[in-house]
Homo-oligomer: A and B are copies of this chain.
Amino acid sequence: MMLFANTGLRTTCDRFLCGHTPLTQRDQLKQLALSPLLDMPIDRYGQGPAIQLLEQETAEILGKEAAVFVHKGVVAQQMALRTWAERTRRYTVALHPKSHIDADERNAYERLHPLIGLRVGSEHSMFTLQELKALHEPPGSITIELPLRNAGFTLLPWDELYAISTWAREQHIPLHFDGARLWECGPYYGRSYAEIASLADSVYVSFYKGLGGLAGCVLAGPKDFIEETQAWQTRLGGNIFTVFPYVLSAYEGLQHHLPKMASYVARAREIAAALSRIEGVQLVPDPPHINSFQLYLPAPAKALQKGIEHLAETEHIWLFGTLHETQFPSLTMVEVVVGEATEQWTTSEVVEALQKLLQLARDA
């Protein structure tokens, strides 16, 4: 079970531990009004100079021929998986059982398409080439979530990723990257985004999350493939009258947050090291692979929720989003996502806040 944070109290806070500082509607509009793309004509049903610039720039960063803006990753990935299936005429998709596509989209890929998931990999880590081969059936496509969020934002080592990519090409099996957090992966691999994306045939990258945009993403890949996905984009309601606020904010995210990603990742490792020294606290993975990690706290979720709300009321700080209950009643998982908001904290302030929270939970 998951407990959700009190959004009413949250909006009264002035410091946030996770992600980027949330902007109000008013401040979002002010920021959009500063966009260098502001005086370009408005897009209409996916056509326009600003959306085209965003698509081209993202395609270039990823080293892909073409990219198309999509309002939601759920749609971008269905566009990719369905198009690959129509090309290979094989409707099986090898994916991890904890991947977003299989775990968090109400099985859209199976309920809206004739796609069939082939689950590969154990619960707490990404699948390996060996596990893929052990399927003993060639899937229509393979999808890899980089990083696998539900396993602690973990990444496959480069060599393993490279081996899967090489094997998939030999077998003529298209490889798709779910790159909802691909921007966050650069520092771990120490390679350019183009080099990382070159291992896959298609890749989806998000503009909110790490890049702090309003929403939206692109799907990138070969030009003819991207063109083929458009029919599915239309069917899936992705051909929107205008998406200009998303486009402006995505462009801002590329300019502002992308160059800071390495510092977010470094900071996450620093904070993680300090938190791991608190009695009873565990981290997954330790050290973190990207700017985010799972934090296991020795307290029940309900007690932690009360503590988080108390700190919001008394100190106007907001620590975590969702509280995930685990198999142990007195152990709760939260995700720590280091972004711009975390710059407002010294590491010892983070440690202190967590110790206070644990004390509040013990006293509850």
Contact = CB atoms under 8 A, between A and B. Distances in A.
Interface of A: 7, 11, 22-26, 28-30, 32-33, 35, 37-42, 44, 47, 50, 71-75, 78, 105-108, 111-113, 208, 214-215, 231, 234-245, 248
A241 B19 CA distance: 14
B235 A41 contact: no
Contacts of A241: 208, 214-215
B242 A215 contact: yes
A25 B7 contact: no
Describe A's contact surface by its main secondary structure.
loop
Given A235-B108, A237-B237, A33 B28 contact: no
Contacts of A32: 29
A74 B237 contact: yes
B11 A39 contact: no
A25 B215 contact: no
B42 A78 contact: no
Contacts of A42: 22-25, 28
A106 B39 contact: no
A38 B24 CA distance: 9
B71 A237 contact: yes
A113 B108 CA distance: 11
A219 to B, nearest CB: 12
A36 to B, nearest CB: 12
Given A44-B7, A214-B241, A236 B28 contact: no
A65 to B, nearest CB: 24
A242 B41 CA distance: 23
A22 B44 CA distance: 11
A71 B74 contact: no
Nearest to A78: B237
A111 B235 contact: yes
Nearest to A107: B235
Contacts of A38: 25-26, 29
Given A113-B112, A215-B240, A236-B112, A231 B24 contact: no
Given A112-B113, A215-B241, A234 B29 contact: no
Nearest to A215: B241
A236 B237 contact: yes
B25 A235 contact: no
| Across the A-B interface, the 3 shortest Cβ-Cβ residue pairs | A75-B237, A108-B235, A72-B237
A113 to B, nearest CB: 7
A41 B22 CA distance: 10
